[in-house]
Chains A and B, each alone.
Chain A
Amino acid sequence: MNLLKLDKATIKFGGLIAVNEVSFEINKGDLFGLIGPNGAGKTTCFNLITGVYKPTSGQISFDGRDITGTPANKIANLGIARTFQNIRLFKSMSVLENVVTAGYLRHKTSMASAFFYLPSAIKENEQLKEEAMKLLEVVDLAHVADVRSCDLAYGMQRRLEIARAMATQPQLLLLDEPAAGMNPQEKEELNAMVKKIRDHHNMTVLLIEHDMRFVMSLCEKIFVLDHGEEICFGPPEKVRNDPKVIAAYLGEAV
């Protein structure tokens, strides 16, 4: 059964149609790539899925449930987490706190128990911290757990974004240009990490990326957007040789 389904999702900003009748399905366990030239509407697609924008028309369903127009925080609770293209960490908070904040949506004790510092709240606090530390080990950031997140190096900030998204324990993980600004070696490590996340943490991954080599070697299915419309969909081999994709990226022959 499909995990996420977009059915003719469309969003217009005034006269601009940013995403036009885009439909695709993602199955459980997929490594799904969303590519396209700048301004194609990839991030807008993410914003539609995660509830930042409400689609003008069309339907989005997750795990058999209609989530069109559901607020962002409820979507996170349903099991979709994301990272951001232009890193949006909680800057003045520590690395650990960033991850614990995301894990907080699974809290069970009431706010009142925190105000009176009851044992239940203390215990839960410890538990969330432990879980967060485990995730930091996955992304190799455990040694900087107490550093302010804005003091981290760029590549580390990107990895922290992934750890923070994973802390919500999502079924579907959306990565918005995770490899942007990374050097070849870091990209290699990221590639292995994303595969590990999919295999060991049972998450389905949908990612946007510009680096073709990275996408082609990582993703099993690729969806290509241009000017808000689908131009190609299929496995990497098919996408690589599709004339429309080549035209979109390199410009058409005169």
Chain B
Amino acid sequence: MKFLATRVLSILAAIGFSFLVQKLAEGQDSFTQQLLVLASLYVTLSVSLNLINGITGQFSIGHAAFYQVGAYAAAYCGTAFYPNWHGSPVVWLLLMLVVGGIVAAIAGFIVGLPSLRLKGDYLAVVTMGFGEIVRIVVQNQKVLGESGGLSVHPHLQQIWVVVLLAILCIALCRNLQITAHGLPFLAVREDEVASAAMGVNVTKTKVIAFVLGSGFAGAAGAAYALQLGAINPDLFRMDQSFIILTMVVLGGTGSVTGSVLAALLLFYIPEKMRDLSDVRLSVLVSILISVGFAVAAVRYVINNVHKPIKVRAAYYAGITAVTAVVITILGKILQLVPAFQTSVEGGKLRLVVFAGVLIVLMLIRPEGIFAHHEFSWDWLLSPLKKKRTKLPGVSA
């Protein structure tokens, strides 16, 4: 009874949240709405790729292909069957999510079954090849609109659907992680020989992860197609796969919360940079130098967790102070040099900043923001705590 009550409540909460987002978004302009849709889709994509890459440890870089398969499945069905559809368009939308998911899952099964016997780099090459094959095949099929793409019927802007899809994807991965059923996936990542010796069916586990991951990517693709109204092969180029992969690695392979956070970060930072005003070269250079200081200081704190709390707190304060001082003073000094007086267009800096964020994060935390862990408040505050929890018994 208690279970039923909490379950119904949490489902209602998820649906309520989705509609709240929808309501809030309705007051905004269409660009903001579009951003919100894309952010939710990227969350779905990175969490589903995390199931394959992070949790199960199978290095796949063809995720955009499954995204594309789902999108095209929905677009094709829309052209072929929607004119004869008499139900409500929202039901059609939900149906298309399922169809896109299933078609992509089947594609995942067909690719996964033979190729998951490969490991590491080899699997990466196969999945990358698959991604390109899908895109090029689509580009040359008349039925699929060639490079011109397809227009999708119906064109439905329903933000709550994509938000709900993201929540569903996160919830399923989380549930898998906190029950014993998720352990074989982790075990396969850690050691295939040992997990087979413990009775784990390695191939089956990998295929399940691959099918589920690609299924969710397919559902996201279907949602994307219906939200956008028109799709073309250029939307699913290989760089999409790489961005999704970067989100997973940056968030910390295997961490669901990490994938969510990294997806939002990597999506919003470049988008927000679009309307950045012009930056003086002098300021830009001083920012770059102070970032260098900050990275060095943060690394010092990370490498010296055993130092007294006062020292570490002083360093945290030091980072902020040095950064601020360097930006102001160096900015002023550099401004006297004629060569540094020119300005750079802010919008053009977005990819530079994107790359910079990646470099800085990889320097400070090569294992990803959350590493293998999940988000918790304890973890966030741990560098400032008096003592790290010591391993009991190990010192003996």
What residues make up the interface of A, taking CB atoms closer than 8 Å to B? 50-52, 71-73, 76-77, 81-82, 84, 88-93, 97, 100-105, 107, 109, 111, 114-117, 119, 121-122, 124-125, 128-129, 143-144, 147, 151-153, 156, 164-165, 167-168
Contact = CB atoms under 8 A, between A and B. Distances in A.
Interface string B178-208: 1111111011001101111111111000001
Contacts of A109: 181
B114 interface: no
Interface of B: 3, 172, 175-176, 178-184, 186-187, 190-191, 193-202, 208, 372, 391-394, 396
A82 B393 contact: no
B208 A111 contact: yes
A101 B183 contact: yes
Given A73-B199, A104-B199, A151-B394, A114 B179 contact: yes
Contacts of A84: 193-194, 197
Contacts, number: 123
A77 B199 contact: yes
A71 B183 CA distance: 20
A119 B175 contact: no
Contacts of A164: 198
B180 A144 contact: no
A90 B197 contact: no
B190 A91 contact: yes
23 contacts: A51-B196, A73-B201, A76-B196, A84-B194, A90-B186, A90-B190, A90-B191, A91-B190, A92-B186, A93-B187, A97-B186, A104-B181, A105-B199, A109-B181, A115-B172, A116-B172, A117-B179, A124-B179, A143-B393, A147-B394, A156-B393, A165-B198, A168-B199
A124 B180 contact: yes
B202 A89 contact: no
Given A52-B193, A107-B181, A101 B198 contact: yes
A136 to B, nearest CB: 12
A128 B172 contact: no
B201 A88 contact: no
Contacts of A52: 193, 196-197
